[in-house]
């Protein structure tokens, strides 16, 4: 379990990266609308597969893309569900259930790959964020969020965000 201080530090650091600016990109999904409910198929209550994603507006200078999915409403603080980096910048979609488009990190469930929404109580928000970087990252598969955040710092040239919600027991 993370300490409150560690969670706040991670959230503050992540905010710095996310606020780094650059070109406004779009990320979306045909599986749910912006701010809408994520179907249970893409959660721990269903098949727990990643939803299909579409990416638009990648800046021409991008050398790689990063995808991060996290939950800021988790009781222990920011909880990372999925991280992929070194995605080809020409990528405009990631099919349902697919994470082979780059290097995959270890999520906060302790596993590599996608871990869908699984809130212990209430409705949580899940942010699907895409970042365009000015270089590929020199990170080994299985890296953790802290390592990814540090590697991205100062290299974000574009970003986009899409949010879905999920509550268990519907």
Of the listed ranges 40-54, 87-101, 105-119, 145-159, the least confidently predicted one is 87-101
pLDDT digits (tens, 9 = 90+) for 140-170: 999 999 999 999 999 999 999 999 999 997 5
* pLDDT for res 99: 65
Q: Is 18 left (phi over 0), alpha (psi -120 to 50) or beta?
A: alpha
CA–CA dist 46, 66 (Å, integer) = 26
Q: How many CB atoms lie within 10 A of CB 165?
A: 16
pLDDT digits (tens, 9 = 90+) for 128-138: 999 999 999 99
- Rounded to two decimals, the pTM is 0.87
For residue 159, give Cα distances in angstroms to 42, 100, 143: 23, 21, 21
Q: What are phi and psi of 163, to 5 degrees?
A: -120, 140
Say if residue 8's pLDDT is above 70.
Answer: no
Average pLDDT over the chain, rounded to an integer: 89
């Amino acid at each position: 379990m993370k300490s409150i201080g560690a969670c706040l530090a991670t959230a503050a650091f992540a905010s710095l990266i996310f606020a780094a600016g650059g070109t406004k990109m779009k990320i979306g999904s045909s599986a749910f609308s912006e701010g809408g409910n994520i179907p249970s198929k893409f959660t721990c209550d269903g098949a727990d597969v990643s939803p299909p994603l579409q990416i638009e507006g990648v800046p021409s200078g991008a050398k790689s893309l990063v995808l991060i999915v996290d939950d800021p409403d988790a009781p222990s603080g920011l909880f990372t569900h999925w991280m992929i980096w070194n995605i080809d910048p020409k990528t405009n979609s990631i099919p349902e259930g697919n994470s082979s488009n780059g290097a995959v990190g270890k999520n906060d469930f302790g596993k590599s790959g996608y871990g869908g929404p699984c809130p212990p109580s209430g409705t949580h928000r899940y942010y699907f964020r895409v970042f365009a970087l000015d270089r590929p990252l020199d990170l080994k598969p299985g890296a953790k969020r802290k390592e990814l955040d540090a590697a991205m710092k100062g290299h974000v040239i574009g970003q986009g965000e899409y949010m879905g919600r999920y509550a268990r027991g519907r």
